[in-house]
Amino acid sequence: MSTWNSRGLRGSTLEEFINRTCEQYREKKLAVIQKIPTPITPVRIDKESRHITLAYFEKKSTVDYIGAVQGIPVCFDAKECHSNQFPLQNIHQHQVDFMGEFEGQGGIAFLILFFTRRNEFYYLRYEDMLRFWERGQSGGRKHFTLEELNPEYFFTSGHGFLVPFLEGLQKDLLSR
């Protein structure tokens, strides 16, 4: 059974930015998207701060976020990357499977990647993620690089939103 310790908070800043963006989208009636909590069972709690310091995951989660944008079902996961290569080990089989099933039902699945050194976000379409994933599973590279990504899907904070991912979604929809 998987456990997390201090590493479990990786990506929490990115998630806070996305949570705030989702609140703004909801306030503007553009989208209703919720963070899906990962079910955990605490093992060790710091009595002074009342923070969980060790826990195990009860079951595998699917994706970080799920909702609807103007009537279109969406689901996505948020990942941080500290270099110019994204390791595919950060994407799990059960996530790939869920996202594939979601797309099969007419929804849109994607990843939001945050390249911390560049301070840039990337909207990774499910179709492109799957291509990289299958390459890695069949013996190819276990990562993908910035150079392999479509430059049109990079974005930065702006227009009053911390993580304006609807721009990437719009491009994704137009390309289908």
Residue 97 annotated as binding?
A: no
Instruction: Tell me which residues of the chain have a pLDDT lower than 70.
Output: 1-11, 39-42, 55-61
145 to 60, 124, 132, 172: CA distances (angstroms)? 27, 12, 10, 20
Residue 172 annotated as binding?
A: no
Give the pLDDT score at 15: 92
Residue 77 annotated as binding?
A: yes
Query: CB-side exposure of 130: number of CA atoms within 13 Å?
Result: 13
Residue 64 annotated as binding?
A: yes
Q: Which of 118, 176, 108, 111 is nearest to 147 (CA)?
A: 118
Domains in the chain, number: 1
The CATH number for 17's domain is 3.40.1350.10
Domain extent for 164: 11-37+61-175
Q: Is residue 3 part of a domain?
A: no
Q: Is residue 98 part of a domain?
A: yes
Q: Is residue 109 part of a domain?
A: yes
| Full-model pTM | 0.83
Give the pLDDT score at 55: 63
Q: Is residue 115 part of a domain?
A: yes
Q: Is residue 56 part of a domain?
A: no
Q: Is residue 152 part of a domain?
A: yes
Amino acid at residue number 33 = I
